[in-house]
A and B are shown apart, each in its own frame.
Chain A
Amino acid sequence: MTRALFAALALTVAAGSANAQRIHIDVNAAQKPIPVAIQRFAGGAGALADDFYGALVAGLEYSSVVVHVNPEAFVEPRETRDLDAPAVPCDNWKAIGAEGLVQGELRESQGRAQVRFRVWDTTRCRLLGDVGFRERDRAELPMLARLVADDIVQRFTGRRGVSSTEIAFVSDSGKRNKEIWLMSADGSNKRRLTNNGSINLFPSWSPDANTLVYTSFKGGLSELYLLFRGTRPGTKLIQTRDEKFRGVWAPNDGTIAAVVSRQGNTDLYTVSSSGKNPKRITEDRSIESSPAWSPDGRKMAFVSDRTGSPQIFVKDLASGEERRLTYNGDYNASPAWSPTGEWIAYAAQAGNDFDIYLITPDGSFTQPLVSAPRSDEDPAWSPDGRKLAFSSNRRGRKEIYRVDLNGANTTLLTDGTGNCTNPAWSPWLE
């Protein structure tokens, strides 16, 4: 009897101890990018291979999420030897701290550069991707390398990199007029798109990244124009006599939100990409402007002074319901809805200057993103939602910068291109 009793007691105690036996360890992250080793691609002759390798590394590191491992540390060869090998010596790559490995083959044929590559997860020794040949004109080799880099970023992060995207912006470029310009996402390859000697503002990209809608005073009045990639001439979007101040392309179809002044009342409308089927969105007597589409195209953030000062509102396009989003400060403007839908970036006045803030679309949480001395304005999201471009006069003249979503890696993109404003980050080009 006593033995049975004590056995039961002992069991109870043992059970309690067994539950307590599994310990719990919490680890906090150190914010570091993923180290990936890149073997130089096989087959490329000197300059071709060098150019490609340099652009590939730069494209990877543009992501801020992936970083390349210094080849000096390689135990294995620095150049790809056998791209069809069934396995790679993962331990040798893991030993130098690489969590990934990129191998590839590059060749040039009839003025075209061709590339194929493989991506490995070396810690788990798994093939993440085996991509067949892609090609571009030899002159577009850097773009080919960026496209490969963005693909590699996707293998490790689930979202494609944005080094191959572009940013449109407005620059006075030393003259008195303001033209629409274009540059690569890293600030290279700047070129002017308009040259009408007038004032051109607010570029906005079509979802396929082939067309820009922008505002121009070239005809005397403020009008919206389309600018096509390639040789097609630009056209006026809306043929009515009303003033149109700004057009913003919806992210998922051909609809364009337009700020139109009719009979002295400025409101938001939507029109098709051919300028047809106008539909009035807001009907308040106050001034409504700066439309920003939600990623699903069902809601629109905009600025209105209906409460006495410019504030950001959100409208549900199906129900027509409108609600005020910002309450802090006397001047909140330039809303930009993130492609992930999580945030709305905006410019908030602080004293005589503006800072860039992030707010959740339900208004429950706000945090500053960029608050340097002087003004930071015009936030524009990268298509992956991990970066923003913005304009700032922190160095005197207005220039375009980019910054990571966590506020890190602020980089100047338009040094020496005059006063630059209104950045518009393109969708992925292909």
Chain B
Amino acid sequence: MSSFYVPTESLLQSRAFRRLLAFSLAGHVVVFLALVLRPSRNAQLISPSPVMVQVVSMPKSAAPKPALAKPAPPPKEKPLPPEPPPPPKPVVKEIVIPKEVRPLPEKPKPAPAEPKTPPPTAEELLAKMTEQVEAKEAANAPKEAPTEAPAATEAAPGAFDPLLSPWVARVRTLVRANWSGASLCKGTPQFDVDIDGGGQLTHIALAESSGDSYCDDTAERALRKSNPLPPPPRALSFTLSLNPKDTQ
């Protein structure tokens, strides 16, 4: 046992022991500093910068919807520009929400969030950009803004306006019910029609003949007999094709 005992004083006095001690101390210091100063992963997640991007994108997805519906799209878009700089904290809270939802399945949350943002197509982005520019210009020249704004809302509800679908279905049913003598037809007459907001046909013109004037007459009678049509969501122009085949 004694043969293994080494008195401290004698160790401290030895050079080798001093070197070892110095290395050991230096190593501990390095490890300590490394542990203390190394940035943690959690700290990265909490960093505010990516959060800012995500949150700004949320209102973007809401923007195109009001563009489809006529009533009042602009109010929701305007609050956006002022927001970006001020509130970082509430933004962090919103980002935390997806984390809480995680336990449910895998990545369902990010997924629904994404499709909302990507859809803004080139047209929508352009529309938004122009709106922003217009908003800035509106501050300088307020009289021009109101005339340009309605033009944008009129252009938006086009062929894909979901509000028109039920109305189109009603028009189809009504004109079909009023079309007599279609057995005369071999071709498909087409009419250009203007309709006012009350459903009154203000203009009916044969755009393309079926090749048989008597067939064209049966189709025109069907249109006139159907006048007034159900009131459309707004005054509009449309092309009506009358196909003699009974496919319904």
Q: Which residues of A contact B (CB under 8 A)?
A: 2-3, 6, 9-10, 12-14, 16-18, 20-35, 64-66, 94, 97, 99, 121, 123-124, 156-158, 406
Contacts and interface: CB of A to CB of B under 8 A. Distances in A.
A31 B183 contact: yes
Nearest to A36: B180
B57 interface: no
A12 B129 CA distance: 13
Contact of B239 (A16, A17, A23, A65): A23
A22 B217 CA distance: 23
Contact of B158 (A17, A25, A64): A17
B130 A10 contact: yes
Nearest to A21: B158
A96 to B, nearest CB: 11
Interface in B126-179: 126-127, 129-130, 133-134, 137, 151-152, 155-160, 164, 168, 171-172, 175-177, 179
Given A18-B155, A29-B246, A123-B221, A13 B126 contact: yes
Interface string B95-138: 00000000000000000000000000001001101100110010
B184 A99 contact: no
B221 A99 contact: yes
B129 A13 contact: no
A22 B237 contact: yes
B179 A29 contact: yes
What 10 pairs between A and B have smallest CB-CB spacing? A29-B182, A20-B158, A17-B155, A158-B214, A34-B181, A123-B221, A20-B159, A34-B180, A10-B130, A123-B224
Contacts of A65: 181, 183-184
B184 A27 contact: no
A33 B180 contact: yes
A99 B236 CA distance: 27
Given A14-B151, A156-B214, A27 B179 contact: yes
Contacts, number: 139
8 contacts: A9-B130, A23-B164, A26-B241, A30-B179, A31-B183, A35-B180, A124-B220, A157-B184
B159 A23 contact: yes
Contacts of B236: 21, 23
A199 B134 CA distance: 95
Classify the secondary structure of A's interface with B. mixed
A27 B240 contact: yes
B32 interface: no
Contacts of A35: 180
B214 A28 contact: no
A9 B241 contact: no
B238 A157 contact: no
Contact of B246 (A18, A31, A34, A124): A31
B138 to A, nearest CB: 12
Interface in B161-210: 164, 168, 171-172, 175-177, 179-185
Interface residues of B, number: 53
Given A10-B126, A27-B171, 19 more contacts: A6-B133, A10-B130, A13-B126, A14-B152, A17-B155, A20-B158, A21-B155, A21-B237, A26-B172, A27-B179, A32-B182, A34-B181, A34-B218, A99-B221, A99-B225, A121-B221, A156-B181, A157-B184, A158-B214
B244 interface: yes
Contacts of A3: 133, 137
A76 B79 CA distance: 64
A22 B238 contact: yes
B49 interface: no
The winner among B126, B158, B238 for most chain A CB atoms within 10 A is B158
Contacts of A158: 184, 212-214
Contacts of B218: 34
B44 interface: no
B248 interface: yes
Interface string B224-248: 1100000000001111111111111
Contact of B130 (A6, A24, A121, A124): A6
Contacts of B160: 20
A287 B237 CA distance: 64
A171 B155 CA distance: 72
A26 B176 contact: no
A25 B240 contact: yes
Given A22-B239, A25-B240, A32-B180, A13 B127 contact: yes
Contacts of B244: 29
A124 B224 contact: yes
Contact of B171 (A17, A25, A31, A124): A25
A28 B243 contact: yes
A221 B157 CA distance: 81
Contacts of B133: 2-3, 6
A381 to B, nearest CB: 17
Contacts of B151: 14
Contacts of B239: 22-25
Contact of A124 (B156, B159, B221): B221
A21 B130 contact: no
Contacts of B179: 27, 29-30, 32
A25 B217 CA distance: 18
B130 A27 contact: no
A31 B238 contact: no
